[in-house]
Amino acid sequence: MVKFTSTSVDVKYFLHRVVNLRGSRHLGDIAPTGPAMNDLTKPHVFDATAATFEDTVIRASMDTPVLVDFWATWCGPCKTLGPLLEKLAADYHGAFVLAKVDVDAEQELAAAFQIRSVPMVMLVKGGQLVDGFPGALPEGQLRDFLTHHGIAPAEPVIEDQAPAEAAPPVDPHAEVMRLRRAIDAEPDKAELKLDLALALLQTGAAAESEKLLDALPANLATDDRTVKARARLGFAALLKDAPPVEVLHAAIAADPADLRARHFLGVRELVSGNAEAGLQQFIEMLQRDRAFGDGLARKSLIDAFRVVEDEDLVGRYRRRMSSLLLV
């Protein structure tokens, strides 16, 4: 195996190498070489490009480990390893996802990761490059590699266990990819750009989301969804210098009365789409010290009520806020 360090390597280092190679100033300047065409029969396998890598690999790896397969059409061993990795992705039922990078189509990405030969496989977890291996391994060794990193097969999703009327939750990163492809096909359809702005906001890409909202035509600029999105951007602006979620959780665990950490965590949860978790942090602040930050908890709750779309949830937390303020 290829160990990168005992503490792993931040993958963004490699993405910035892509930027330097292309002479761009921002990751967002990287132009796609083509849409990532994913096979709907393989839900845990997708094509990764320099344009989509930050969303679909780095950010996605915060929740689910991502195995990155650098391959080429002319590579004999790749034709053996690729199907094995795809089989394991299916067998593991989403315990990890497989990102495939065609080194000929994505030469800058391959150069940034210093790929000297293919196949080359790298494992990304928690936004970090933690391990990898060159060449085609047999299935048994591949399973050992996954086990070594705490990746075990998940239970398969049984469709009939869920209520028939309940739609599966939408992965915002996958939605961003889908909408980018839709906009490529219909670049003049402004409604798609509004949908993309909303999806980007859920992934934390506030700057790109704001740029799309600013460019909307007048009829969509006053749309209720646009108004709510701009309110969420106001929350997102508060996170510019905020610590990561893990640091905030650790701070609260060490000191439950750390109301500044609770406020940042509440805002992070709200911006990422976890409305109830965000509202709960603001309620905790109100319970502990309603005067903190010149009434910051109350102000945050009122602002959040303008953003959250679930009316029942807003009603419940309005009542909780009122009962606490009356004490």
Active-site residues, by number, are: 75, 78
In 138-223, where does DSSP find H-type helix?
Answer: 139-148, 172-185, 190-203, 206-214, 218-221
What's the DSSP call for residue 31? P
Q: Which residues contact 123 (CB under 8 A, 6 or more apart)?
A: 65, 66, 67, 68, 129, 130, 131, 132, 145, 149
- Cα dihedral 222, 273, 200, 211 in deg (nearest 10): 40
Widest distance between CA atoms in the chain: 72
List the structure tokens of 95.
Answer: 């315990």
Instruction: Provide the CB-side half-sphere exposure for 39 (13 A, CA).
Output: 9
Q: Is 98 helix (H, G, I), strand (E, B) or coil?
A: strand
Q: 104 to each of 72, 108, 220, 245, 279, how far by Cα in Å?
A: 7, 9, 40, 37, 47
Q: How would you classify residue 126: left for phi > 0, otherwise alpha for psi between -120 and 50, otherwise beta?
A: left
How close are the terminal C-alpha atoms of the chain, in Å? 61
User: Cβ contacts of residue 208 below 8 Å, gap of 6+?
Assistant: 28, 197, 200
Q: Say which residue the tokens 């965590």 belong to.
A: 265
Q: How many residues does the chain have?
A: 327
Cβ-Cβ contacts under 8 Å for 327 (sequence gap 6 or more) = none
Instruction: Report d(CA 204, CA 189) in Å as an integer.
Output: 23
